Amino acid sequence: MAPLKMLQQLAKKHGTPLFVVDHNELRRNYTAFKKYLPRVQAYYAVKANPDPAIVKTLYDAGASFDVASMPEFMVVHEYIKNLPAKQRQDWIWDKIIYANPIKANETLRELDQYKALVTFDNFEEIRKIKQYAPHSGLVLRLKVSNTGAMVELSSKFGAASGEAANLILEADKAGLVVEGLSFHVGSQTTNFENFVQAINLAANVFKEARERGYTKMNLLDIGGGFPAPYDATVKPFRELARKINAEIDRLFPKDIQILAEPGRFMVATAGTAISKIIGKAVRDGKLCYYVDDGVYQTFSGILFDHCQYHMEAFKKGATRICTVFGPTCDALDVISMAEELPADLERGDLLYSNNIGAYSVASSTPFNGFPPAKVVHINR
């Protein structure tokens, strides 16, 4: 996080609500990911925060990209297409995976011109890809355990391991090339055994496919779920990396490419939200602060991401448990019912929230006419 004095200066200059992205923190996170998972190519999950400036910084650092819609695809495409010709060569294969297993016909038709790498998890999707995007490379997404994840994903996507080889052979029969396997253990997964179990399951599917005559798979995408350090209960990333490295090295030869889709891990700690107190009241004996940002704007992750963000004050003083409300007329717009803040804050005082870079401004809306926070990028 940027120094408090810098955050205050930025708020004074730009006003509030304000969302500050620290690009040095982005680079630190990418470097840490590569340090502890040296065999894994990081495909940043653009959905976590699709800001083009973030894409640029991570691309320049060496990242590839996981996209789940054509608008996300074009965020990456718009940056890469302006690079020198030498840097653009084979950029799709090296830099993008379209990791949404279910795609509209129109999307597939548009993707086909790029010969993109796309995921699938059912027989109907094979038929769609064959018809609308036959030049795509395929990656079969497996259903794996999401136990302990903050956001569960396995009920919506993923092929059962028992039908995986049949899906691979069906795609091959259709004239498509299945390049490898993928899985997702759930977002913000603090149960590291999910990764261990999923890697072992993928190894078994590789083995069954080979035994049934399919030998074209050369990559494993271990998905996302790498947890951000929101609090002290999240174990260090190096501990998770140690488990992943051990299983990958044990089960997959060096000629198998290993991909991952970190989103939250890359960007969560790089974002800070600054808001201003616009009202103050006591309700049923409890102090309430009203601020100019809320769950329809930067704090949308409270609703959509099951995440709880903590607010802190720049001013110090004796604290008490307070409620913090957002600015809209909706009673759902509650940032926290139990936030420990100074009791003597006044209208115009500023609050800030750390580690809010992922799944926050990405889903902001202009509900009630309140605009999303202004985004400011810093390099320290």
Give the catalytic positions in this structure.
329
Enter the tokens of residue 47.
């959905």
Sign of the torsion formed by the C-alpha atoms of 116, 72, 268 and 306: negative
Burial class (CB in 10 A: 0-12, 13-18, 19+), 278: middle
Number of other CB atoms surrounding residue 229 within 10 Å: 14
Nearest to 265 by CA among 358, 176, 172: 358
- Phi/psi class of residue 57: alpha, beta or left (left: φ > 0; alpha: ψ in -120 to 50)? alpha
Measured in residues, the chain has a length of 380
- Whole-angstrom Cα distance, residue 42 to residue 260? 5
Bond from prior residue into 17 cis (ω within 30 degrees of 0):
yes
Give yes or no for a contact between 290 and 278, defined as CB atoms under 8 angstroms apart.
Answer: yes
Q: What phi, psi does 362 have (nearest 5°)? A: -60, -25
Question: What kind and span of H or E run contains 292?
Answer: none
Question: What kind and span of H or E run contains 301?
Answer: helix 301-304
Question: What kind and span of H or E run contains 14?
Answer: helix 4-14
**Beta strand extents in 147-217 (DSSP E only):** 149-151, 177-183, 187-189
Number of other CB atoms surrounding residue 89 within 10 Å: 10
Q: What residues have CB less than 8 Å from 285, skipping those under 6 apart?
A: none
Q: What residues have CB less than 8 Å from 36, skipping those under 6 apart?
A: 237, 238, 241, 242, 245
